[in-house]
Structures are given as structure tokens and as C-alpha cells.
Structure 1
Amino acid sequence: MKHLKFLFVLFFMTSCGSTVHYDYEKSTNFNNYKSYNYFDNMKTGLSELDTKRLIRAMDAKLKNMGLSKSENPEFFIDIQSQDIHSRNNSNVGIGVGGGGGRVGGGVSIGIPVGQRNNNREIMIDFVDKSNGERLFWQAIAESSYNPNATPEIRAAQFEKIVEKVFSKYPPEQ
């Protein structure tokens, strides 16, 4: 039973859930936006192959939402990302205690278990270029990833992220 609890805690801590934060311009009428395209020369911070995987996942999701990709779009999409490497939380602690007329002491050393977590933050901006490059919607997703994952796993991870990112688009006003 003790091992089962340990495995549950380990699984919970290493699960690859993602967190998404949203922001938008309150005065925006999202019904006015039906077509999109991506900014030329985007510097996504992803590899070229991962950029293609993310764009494919976004195109499929946006198409399912009734938006179409166009050469003369109503808004443009910008994608940026950065890797966030978490640090190991190992530490050293010294303590002194007593009770019942006895005094004791101890030293504690934290030993990192496992490897560093690799997290990636992906920022997706919707920009109305016809209105002075006005940012009207933004999503920032943070999720863990394995840099050695297979192409199929990477594509599936991007699909999950995109699904979660666009679950709140358009925002309820």
C-alpha cells in the first residue's frame, strides 16, 4: 500500500497537464472575425518541425470553429514560445530539538529525485492589423514536454494544448 501511494504521488507530480491563461480586449466584437492568417517571419522559438505541428493543430481547430485561413485575413496570429527549466529543490536543513530532558539535533539534506522538468510557455496573440496592429486576444499556455519525444507524441501534445487554448475562444462577454 505504501508503494501504491508513492506511485500515485509520483504520477500526479509528473503528469503533463497544461495551464492556460487568457486575456482579451473587452470592447472587441469577436463575431467580426471570421478569417485569419499568421504573421510572416514569425519567430516562434520552436523548431521548424514543431512550428509546423503547432500550426497544423491550430488550423484544424480554427477550421472546426468556423474560421478560415485567408490571404486577406481579418486578423493575424503571432506565436512565441520559450523553454522554462525548473530547478531542483534540493536543500540542507539543520535542526535542534528537545523534550523530556533530552536534547537532540539533526541534519537533513534534500536529494533531487528524477530529472529536471522541461516546461514550455507558448503565447498565442490575435492581432487586428487593420486597426493599428491592435492585440485583441491572447492565450499563454504552459505545459511540460519531453525534448526526446517521438514526432507522433509531439503532435499529440500540441493538439492537446491547442484544444485547451481554444476552449475559451471566443470569450464569454
Structure 2
Amino acid sequence: MKHFFIFVLAVVAISCGSTRVDYDYDEQIDFSQYQTYNFMPEMDSGLSQLDLKRLMDATDAVMQAKGFTKSQTPDVLINIIAEEYEDVQRNSVGVGIGGGSYGGGVSVGAGIPLGGNKNHQTITLDLVDAQKDILVWQAVSDSNIKVGTNPQERVTHYTKIAQKIFEKFPPEE
């Protein structure tokens, strides 16, 4: 039983900080044709201006590390859409006290919630062919986000998100 409890704690600890990313792309596209990028001129990202700038700066760093160049006449345009939601925890532990004798009894019960509500952030990043105006690649990330973080923690968060999102870009042929 002790080992099971330790295992459960380890799984919970690992899953709390994880970022999951799902990818989709057009298999007919030759991604080697894309050398330049820029961001959509009019983005309604759902992020604050500060967080959008942090994510765009992190995206710039990752794209440039992958050999892409930011251009005013790009091959692909990047669009960012973010949503935040609260995941309500429904797990609880019941505690009860009971007693009685000879047909009479008293009992008290209570439910103690396990963990608290968690804030999540979903970021959808679209790459659109600038000439054809078609979506060619998409990544959707879902991660926990801490409330009340300082600016440096937010830079770190968005840097990790950008690295994870572009981990499998461009897709291998």
C-alpha cells in the first residue's frame, strides 16, 4: 500500500506541470518550400499585450533557431489564439464518524476535496500559407498556468510553450 501511495503522488506531481500538444498538418504540402515567416497583422489572440509579446518573442527565437527568417513578405503567417479555463476538481475523500449501541446511533460525515481547481491555457498556433491563404500546419497546446506569476515566470512559461509547440515542426516527410 505504501508503494502505491508513492506511485500515485509521483504521477500527480509529473502530470501537474505537463504541456500536451496535438499537431495537424496538410500532408500534401512540401514544407521545405517555406523559408520565411511573420505574424498575422491583425490577431485577436485572447492574450494580454504583454503575454502576446512574450509568446511572439519566444516563437521568433524558436523559428530562427530552426533556420527560418522573419520577413515582411513571408512564406507563412503565424496566428495565435489562446483561451483560459478553470478545471474544477471533482475528487474528494469522505471521512465519517459513527457510533451507536443497541439500535441507536449517531454519525457525522464530511467530504474533503483533493487538490484545488486548476487554471489551464489552450494555445492554438496556426501556420497559414501566405500566398494561397490556406492553413498548412496547426498545433494546439494545453497546459496548467499558475495564477499570480511574476513577469520572468511568464517569460519562462511562454518560452517552454513555444519550444514544445514547434518540437515537431516542420513535419518529417
What residue in structure 1 maps to residue 142 of structure 2?
A: 142
What residue in structure 1 maps to residue 36 of structure 2?
A: 35
What residue in structure 2 maps to residue 118 of structure 1?
A: 119
Change (3 A) 1:20 1:13: closer
Deviations 1:59-109 (A, max 9, x none): 01101110011111111000001012111204799xxxxxxxxxxxx9976
| Structure 2 residues not aligned, in runs of 5+ | 95-106
What residue in structure 2 maps to residue 162 of structure 1?
A: 162
State the TM-score, normalizing by the size of structure 2.
0.82
Question: What number of residue pairs does the alignment pair up?
Answer: 159
| Structure 1 residues not aligned, in runs of 5+ | 94-105
Change (3 A) 1:10 1:59: same
Q: Following TM superposition, by how much is the alpha carbon of 1:116 offset from its aligned partner in structure 2, in angstroms? A: 0.9
Q: CA separation in 2, counterparts of 1:115 and 1:92?
A: 13
Q: Following TM superposition, by how much is the alpha carbon of 1:10 offset from its aligned partner in structure 2, in angstroms? A: 5.0
State the TM-score, normalizing by the size of structure 1.
0.82
What residue in structure 2 maps to residue 11 of structure 1?
A: 13
**2:113 match: secondary structure:** coil
What residue in structure 1 maps to residue 171 of structure 2?
A: 171
Change (3 A) 1:109 1:172: farther
Q: Are residue 129 (structure 1) and residue 130 (structure 2) matched?
A: yes
Deviations 1:107-140 (A, max 9, x none): 9764323321000000000001311x10000000
Q: CA separation in 2, counterparts of 1:121 and 1:9?
A: 22
Q: CA separation in 1, counterparts of 2:115 and 2:153?
A: 21
Give yes or no for contact 1:89–1:110 (8 Å, CA) kept in 2.
no
Q: What is the RMSD computed on CA atoms of the aligned residues?
A: 2.6
**2:170 match: secondary structure:** coil
Change (3 A) 1:136 1:10: closer
What residue in structure 2 maps to residue 99 of structure 1?
A: none
Q: CA separation in 2, counterparts of 1:110 and 1:90?
A: 9
Q: Are residue 74 (structure 1) and residue 58 (structure 2) matched?
A: no
Q: How many percent of aligned residue pairs carry the same amino acid?
A: 36
Q: Which runs of 4+ in 1 moved over 2 A?
A: 4-14, 90-93, 106-111
Give yes or no for contact 1:90–1:110 (8 Å, CA) kept in 2.
no
Q: CA separation in 2, counterparts of 1:68 and 1:41?
A: 20
